[in-house]
Amino acid sequence: MHRFVPFIAVAASLLVLPGLGDPARAAGPADGPRRVSRMDFGKTPGGTPVELYTLSNGRITAKVMTYGAILTELDVPDRNGKPGDVVLGFDSLEGYLAGHPYFGATVGRVANRIGGAKFSLDGKDYQLAVNNGPNTLHGGNKGFDKVVWKAEDVSGPAGPAVKFTYRSPDGEEGYPGNLDVAVTYTVTDQDELKIDYKATTDKATPVVLTNHSYFNLAGPASGTILDHEVTLAASKYTPGDAGMIPTGAIESVKGTPLDFTTPTPIGARIKEIKADPVGYDHNFVIDPGARPAARVRDPRSGRVMEVSTTEPGVQFYTGNFLDGKVKGKGGVAYQQHQAFCLETQHFPDSVHHANFPSTILRPGQTYTQTTIYKFGVDSVPGLDRR
């Protein structure tokens, strides 16, 4: 069994690993102590300026821009202390403006799919954008991933932090109510990327927010993630139809290729998935009280990511639709299964299933969601491995 070793434990061991200097920062990138910095990152076609914020605790560094509140970069050390980016994306704003499969994006007003691109609420019917077969996906044609958010440095005792805010007006993409949204990214002293979501509304409306980062713990140019070892604290899932709209059933993963209740390489059973293109794109029901909800280990780099969340579900997606047409960081053509996503959220199409946890937010209520990505390594030479 591979032990999760936090970077702060690596530093505390006072080991000077190859290529490293000050042992107090043994596993961290050489870009200084905890901090937040800002830079201009270009303009939208309409002339709206876009800013890029860098958050660092001296070991891990996250970069998030105001366009789409998108996580563009996440640098994390490997088992030898060498930092490397672990998310897919682009080197400049232009790549994101040209269209992409939600790399690093804050997704809303409703993440995932709504069947038939419509729903009824309090006796009124609402028609949404049809942008995924006959359904709506990730907020519609211009979801939260395609708007410019306001940003504010809100760093505090927990670590460097930036809060992104946006008002989604009544009727945007067909959804009712003015929705005020805040998404706060924090790089904590515990080597976590913590994302806190809040929203309020003046009319009843469905709300499901998530982050859609594509992870490759070996690096965006390292090939497929089929050797990444995944554990999901999810003994059940929500089966869906050919369009990935849930049937309403909640079934056991036991005896299926969806069983990740014990550590399993992503590629071990992926060809058993009956889908075109082949791969995982399923909503898993997180076991009550599970923490972490997911754990991913890359055997090549030794990087380990643990995901904890307040949400009841997580969409596990393996980049099935990447086909080499999108060229990302360093000109790398992103191929099928070159990344995975763990989208923490309420279940897809919940507005049509009374047995699913409700996604309806009403005036006077506050939507909250917290997801934490904690990073470490599987083992470090010289550490106590008991």
Catalytic residues: 212, 343
Q: Is 255 exposed, middle or buried (0-12, 13-18, 19+ CB in 10 A)?
A: exposed
d(CA 38, CA 155): 13
Token output for 129 = 């954008």
**63 Cβ neighbours under 8 A, 6+ residues apart:** 52, 53, 54, 55, 71, 72, 73, 74
- Report which of 7, 2, 24, 106 is spatially closest to residue 61, judged by C-alpha positions: 7
CB atoms within 10 A of CB 248: 15
Q: How far is CA 125 from CA 117, 205, 206, 352, 359, in A?
A: 11, 12, 13, 12, 16
Q: Which residues make beta-bridge pairs with 288? A: none
Cα–Cα nearest to 144, from 43, 45, 69: 69
Cα–Cα distance, 386 to 383 (Å, whole number): 9
